[in-house]
Amino acid sequence: MARTVVEVAKVSKRYGAVVALDALDLAVYEGELLSLLGPSGCGKTTTLNVIAGFAAPDAGHVLIDGADVTGEPAWRRGLGVVFQSYALFPHMSVADNVAFGLRERGVGKAETAERVREALVLARLHGVAAQRPHQLSGGMQQRVALARALVIRPRVLLLDEPLAALDRKLREEMRAELRDIQRTVGITTVFVTHDQHEALGLSDRVAVMNGGRIEQLGSPREVYERPATSFVADFIGASSVLEGRVFDRETVELGGGVRLRVALREAAAPERAVRLLVRPERVELGGGGVNTLTARVASVMYLGDHCEVRLELTGGHRLLATLQGSTVLSRDESVTVRIAPDAFLDVS
Q: What is the CATH number of the domain that holds 271?
A: 2.40.50.140
Q: Is the pLDDT of residue 8 over 70?
A: yes
Both 123 and 214 in one domain: the answer is: yes
Range of the domain at 340: 238-346
Decide: 5 and 189 in contact? Cβ < 8 Å. no
Average pLDDT, the chain: 89
Both 203 and 290 in one domain: the answer is: no
| Total domains in the fold of the chain | 2
Q: Considering the entire predicted model, what is its pTM?
A: 0.86
Q: Is the pLDDT of residue 345 over 80?
A: no
Q: Is the pLDDT of residue 64 over 80?
A: yes
Residue-level pLDDT at 142: 87
Both 161 and 92 in one domain: the answer is: yes
Residue-level pLDDT at 265: 65
Both 202 and 261 in one domain: the answer is: no
Both 29 and 168 in one domain: the answer is: yes
Encode pLDDT of 150-172 as tens digits. Answer: 999 999 999 998 887 777 877 88
Decide: 264 and 332 in contact? Cβ < 8 Å. no
Both 204 and 318 in one domain: the answer is: no
Helices (H), the chain: 44-52, 94-104, 109-122, 138-151, 168-185, 196-202, 220-225, 230-235
Residue 316 has phi, psi (to 5 degrees) of 85, 5
The alpha carbon torsion through 227, 269, 342, 314 (nearest 10 deg) reads: -100
Both 60 and 82 in one domain: the answer is: yes
Q: How far is CA 109 from CA 128, 133, 328, in A?
A: 20, 22, 64
